[in-house]
């Protein structure tokens, strides 16, 4: 048995012993952030064909992105709940990955802030574990750094083999940085919040300050100008669809 | 009185518990290995605090380094392209062999003194030693395997589970631990015992051609191939036209900056007599062809290094003396150190005999 397991066993025994005498602490309240993918007004179904905001057809096969450094503020704007050094890989293919549980007291909340992507420190600190493990295919091995967000699919406008458009957006160095801080205000209300539903609209990738025409740019696979333009677009993909 | 008794029982329980937790762990704790910085060398850049060297960690790294199962078809270990007798490059190969009869696109560099190196690959694209193995492991023309499969193979192997436990305290096997172990092994590959080093330490002296070569070296080569590591780790355009079949733009691939076109990392000259062929694509099969490139063959471009804008004037005499000096950088104790050889094998310490000049 290793030391960690022993600690668990020992503290478990101790806790059990103490639980006979002490009062149970209240269960911490959990707020769930739930991400769901949409294309405009439609819920995203992988493999199904949609027409994007620029009129290109798209059938999305992969859609993943990192969510990190979540910060939640309460309605008064006084208490701030920080979740630093926690990284989540939200994957349209894996529903479990789309829910993020945060321990926050039952309170009315005002704002959700998070980083779409991975901070530069984690890009230069060797091999990471968990959601940041390079085996998730979100890491460039030949030019060290995380792919902050990935969108792949088929489009009749993509004049490349398989008609596949592939956007692997990454880059963490100053001018090439593709991590974006997202700030979302919750609708004002007085009820304590249990669940925050956040929509990620794929249309925003194509239509923002930059018009990403699949015919012109079917591929983005390295840090640089195009990746930054796409990042400036996807910064606007999130909105709060409902709060419970 | 009864209260007092309860306290005693609790204290006793605590003490026994703590003793139980701490007890046999001391027995299983990996044994630390001290990393020695050779006298006169700069401090290493590798962060040993984040990955302290241990006997068990180094042994695991060595096992992984020489295990062909890390590749898709089982044929290619790290050691198949990084051979000890070639100072851990691919001996006598311009490019190395990879999965399914493929070739790599660059010359495998020798592996030594990696604790002093911040960026890896000829273009410096990899920013941490721990990340380096990911590239050859997953490249389709090298080991061609997925990290998921590598993890599955390691986890299925009882011996590896025991070795990971010995090195890291429990049987968890993940990418981070695998790569940290490989880093530990390759960090021990320190080459600091060549004749040059012995002369510097006052244990030997140069013969005349070596001394003359060293003097020329300090005048004409040392600003890029800086002592004691014999590289300044910079990226420079040395007037090598791109091979039309490889079309390798070098550093520009990483920075996207046209000013970095055809720039490659300055390689160390330690063990240079063993690391032929030379150049990022291994186009030079001998030292004399490298000298010939610098004095005649160079294609001077707008971003060719300022030190080489007029090529490098070298007389035949100078080339002869420089060659004598460069031979003093061969570290035979490094090339034959049995601790660096495949685990369990007897290192015969005999390198191939042909030496290209």
pLDDT digits (tens, 9 = 90+) for A92-132: 999 999 999 999 988 889 999 999 999 999 999 999 999 99
Residues of the domain holding B113: 48-190
Contact yes or no for A139 and B129 at CB 8 A: no
Do the domain assignments include residue B343? no
**Chain B residues near residue A145 by CB distance under 8 angstroms:** 127
- Domain assignment present for residue B69? The answer is yes
For residue A1, the model assigns a pLDDT of 46
In this structure, the answer to whether residues B202 and B124 fall within a common structural domain is: no
User: How many Å apart are CA B154 and CA B202, to the nearest integer?
Assistant: 47
- Residue B4 marked ligand-binding: no
**Out of A6, A141, A224, whose CB is closest to B256?**
A224
Residues B214 and B153 grouped into a single domain: no
Q: With CA atoms as reference, report the closest residue to A50 among A156, A151, A150, A149.
A: A156
Residue B38 lies in a domain: no
Alpha carbon distance A38, B307 (integer Å): 57
Find all residues with CB under 8 Å of A10, minimum gap 6, and list them: B17, B18, B20, B21
**Distance between CA atoms of residues B186 and B120, nearest Å:** 13
Q: State whether B60 and B185 are in the same domain.
A: yes
User: Is position B208 within any domain?
Assistant: yes
Claim to verify: residue B200 and residue B295 sit in the same structural domain: yes
pLDDT in tens, A49-94: 999 999 999 999 999 999 999 999 988 877 789 999 999 999 999 9
The CATH number given to whatever domain includes residue B180 is 1.10.760.10
d(CA B230, CA B352): 25
CB pairs under 8 A between A and B: 89
Model pLDDT for residues B221-252, shown as the tens digit of each residue:
999 999 999 999 999 999 999 999 999 999 99
Interface membership of B141 toward A (CB under 8 Å): no
Of B190, B205, B232, at which residue does a domain stop?
A: B190
pLDDT score of B296 more than 50: yes
Domain ranges (residues) in chain A: 28-243
Assigned domain for B42 exists: no
User: Alpha-carbon distance A122 to A143, whole Å?
Assistant: 14
Question: Are A244 and A194 a contacting pair, CB within 8 Å?
Answer: yes
Which among B159, B158, B169, B130 is positioned nearest to B30, based on CA atoms? B169
Same structural domain, B179 and B208: no
Q: How far apart are CA A151 and CA A37, in angstroms?
A: 12
B28 pLDDT above the threshold of 90:
no
The answer to whether ipTM exceeds 0.85 is: no
Interface contact B21-A3, CB threshold 8 A: yes
pTM, full prediction = 0.86
Using CA coordinates, name the residue in chain A closest to B169: A2
CB interface of A with B, residues 14-43, below 8 Å: 14, 17
Same domain, yes or no, for B151 and B200?
A: no
Residues of A in contact with B146 (CB under 8 A): 135
Residues 6+ apart with CB under 8 A from A218: A155, A157, A158, A159, A160, A164, A165, A166
- One domain, residues B62 and B140: yes
Mean pLDDT for the stretch of residues A218-222:
96
Q: Is the pLDDT of residue B69 over 70?
A: yes
Whether residues B222 and B294 share a domain: the answer is yes
User: B149 with B80, same domain?
Assistant: yes
């Amino acid at each position: 048995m290793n030391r960690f397991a022993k600690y668990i066993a020992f503290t478990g025994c101790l806790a059990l012993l103490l639980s006979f005498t002490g009062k149970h602490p209240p269960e911490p309240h959990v707020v769930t952030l739930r991400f769901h993918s949409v294309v405009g007004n439609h819920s995203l179904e992988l493999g199904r064909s949609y027409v994007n905001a620029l009129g290109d057809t798209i059938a999305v096969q992969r859609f993943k992105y990192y969510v990190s450094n979540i910060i939640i503020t309460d309605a008064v704007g006084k208490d701030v709940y920080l979740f630093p050094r926690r990284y989540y890989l939200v994957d349209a293919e894996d529903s479990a990955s789309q829910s993020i549980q945060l321990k926050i007291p039952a309170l009315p909340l005002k704002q959700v802030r998070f980083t779409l992507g991975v901070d530069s420190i984690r890009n230069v600190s060797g091999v990471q574990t968990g959601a940041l493990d390079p085996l998730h295919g979100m890491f460039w091995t030949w030019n060290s750094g995380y792919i902050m967000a990935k969108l792949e699919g088929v489009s009749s406008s993509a004049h490349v083999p398989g008609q596949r458009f592939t956007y692997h957006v990454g880059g963490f160095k100053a001018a090439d940085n593709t991590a974006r801080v997202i700030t979302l205000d919750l609708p004002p209300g007085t009820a304590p919040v249990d669940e925050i539903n956040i929509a990620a609209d794929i249309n925003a990738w194509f239509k923002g300050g930059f018009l990403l025409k699949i015919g012109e740019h079917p591929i983005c696979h390295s840090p640089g100008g195009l990746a930054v333009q796409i990042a400036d677009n996807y910064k606007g993909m999130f909105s709060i669809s409902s709060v419970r | 009185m009864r209260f007092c008794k309860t306290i005693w029982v609790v204290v006793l329980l605590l003490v026994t518990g703590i003793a139980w937790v701490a007890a046999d762990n001391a027995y299983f704790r990996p044994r630390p290995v001290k990393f020695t910085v050779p006298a006169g060398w700069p401090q290493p850049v590798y962060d040993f605090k984040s990955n302290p060297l241990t006997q068990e960690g180094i042994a695991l790294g060595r096992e992984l380094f020489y295990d062909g199962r890390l590749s898709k078809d089982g044929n290619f270990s790290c050691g198949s392209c990084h051979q000890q007798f070639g100072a851990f490059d691919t001996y006598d190969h311009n490019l190395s062999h990879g999965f399914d009869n493929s070739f790599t696109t660059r010359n495998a560099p020798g592996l030594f003194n990696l604790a002093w190196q911040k960026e890896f690959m000829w273009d410096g694209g990899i920013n941490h030693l721990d990340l380096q193995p990911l590239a050859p492991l997953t490249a389709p023309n090298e080991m061609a395997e997925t990290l998921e499969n590598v993890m599955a193979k390691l986890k299925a192997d009882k011996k590896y589970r025991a070795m990971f436990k010995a090195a890291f305290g429990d049987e968890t096997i993940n990418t981070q631990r695998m790569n940290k172990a490989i880093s530990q092994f390759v960090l021990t590959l320190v080459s600091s015992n060549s004749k040059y080093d012995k002369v510097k330490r006052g244990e030997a002296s140069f013969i005349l051609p070596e001394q003359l070569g060293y003097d020329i070296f300090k005048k004409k080569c040392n600003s890029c191939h800086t002592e004691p590591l014999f590289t300044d780790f910079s990226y420079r355009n040395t007037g090598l036209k791109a091979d039309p079949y490889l079309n390798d733009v070098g550093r520009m691939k990483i920075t996207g900056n046209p000013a970095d076109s055809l720039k490659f990392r300055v390689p160390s000259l330690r063990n240079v007599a063993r690391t032929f062929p030379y150049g990022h694509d291994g186009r030079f099969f001998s030292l004399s062809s490298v000298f010939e490139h610098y004095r005649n063959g160079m294609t001077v471009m707008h971003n060719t290094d300022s030190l080489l804008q007029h090529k490098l004037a070298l007389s035949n005499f100078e080339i002869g003396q420089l060659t004598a000096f460069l031979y003093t950088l061969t570290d035979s104790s490094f090339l034959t150190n049995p601790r660096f050889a495949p685990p369990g094998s007897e290192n015969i310490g005999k390198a191939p005999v042909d030496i290209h000049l």
